[in-house]
Amino acid sequence: MVESYVIMRVGDQRYGAHVSQVQSVERLGEITPVPRTLSFIKGVIHLRGAVVPVIDLAERVGLTHRAQDADEMRVVIAEVEDRVVGMIVDGVEDVVQIPPETIEPPPAVVGGLQAVYLKGVARVGGGLLVLLNLNRVFSAAESEQLQQIEQFITS
């Protein structure tokens, strides 16, 4: 029994998202900014008749983009617990099969990410693949957002 992960490239780090949570991979189109929200929430996009919020995964995990070719940038649309969110990444590479037993527990901090956002790490093709726990990535964003809104109100 192996599990499939979509490999996303952010800077020179590679992150994996479980295929069951990935709906589609889209080209980067026009983003409508949403004011009064967190900076890593880039706005909303139009996706086949629906409106989907997009976040910058690099900014979310504390990395900066290298000067990127916009043609290569992608939006990975993921659905987690009724939340549909697009993640802007520098590129999408491949889908890999990873046997669960080869997944190691995450070290405390990997590539700028706290362990809570991680499912684990796996060796793929000689490199290290950080497997994201999207449930945490998305929900933590939400609570940060609420904090920021509170600041907005009290300020």
Q: Give the interface with other proteins as residue ranges (CB under 8 A).
A: 30, 32-37, 41, 43-46, 48-53, 82-85, 138, 141-142, 145-146, 149, 153
Q: What's the closest the beta carbon of residue 51 comes to other proteins, in angstroms?
A: 4
CB of 93 to other proteins, least distance (A): 25
Query: In this complex, which beta carbon is closest to other proteins, that of residue 35 or of residue 105?
Result: 35
DSSP state of 135: H
Q: Name the residue with tokens 């490199």.
A: 127
68/145 with CB nearer other proteins: 145
Residues of 88-110 as b/e, b for ≥16 C-beta within 10 angstroms? bbbbbeeebebeeeebeebeeeb
> 52 with 85: CB under 8 angstroms?
yes
Q: How far apart are CA 149 and CA 141, in angstroms?
A: 12
CB of 137 to other proteins, least distance (A): 11
Question: CB 40 → other proteins: shortest distance, Å?
Answer: 12
Question: In sequence order, what are the beta bridge partners of 108?
Answer: none
Q: Which is nearer to other proteins, 45 or 122 (CB)?
A: 45
